[in-house]
Amino acid sequence: MEKFIQGFNNQYIIYDSGEVYSLKSNKFLKQILSPQGYLYVNLSNNGSFKHMFIHQLVAKYFLEPIQGKTVDLVSWLGNRSE
């Protein structure tokens, strides 16, 4: 399953597997490991870049909200590389 990442003029697609595809360059973006151990990609919008963490994108676009519940995304997804 895939969805457009909002706020970037439909230039990027996030897949439920965590891969991010650029329609501008026609390739999957390289995921970068942050010093804290989380994967992220750099997305561009009109010349400015923004770091977007993979686990946050997957949660935002593919997890359904549960009324009255909060989720610790980092612990739940186990997406940190150690």
In one letter, which amino acid is 14?
I
Name all contacts of 11-15 with Cβ < 8 Å and 24+ positions apart: 11/43, 11/44, 11/45, 12/43, 14/57, 14/58, 14/61
Report, at the CATH architecture level, how domain 2-77 is classified.
Alpha-Beta Complex (3.90)
Q: For residues 1 and 76, what is the distance between their CA atoms, to the nearest angstrom? A: 20
Tokens for 7?
A: 């706020």
pTM (2 decimals)? Answer: 0.79
Q: Is the dihedral of CA 80, 4, 23, 27 positive or negative?
A: positive
Q: Tens-digit pLDDT profile for the chain (82 aa)?
A: 999 999 999 999 999 999 999 999 999 999 999 998 999 999 998 889 999 999 999 989 998 877 777 666 555 445 555 4
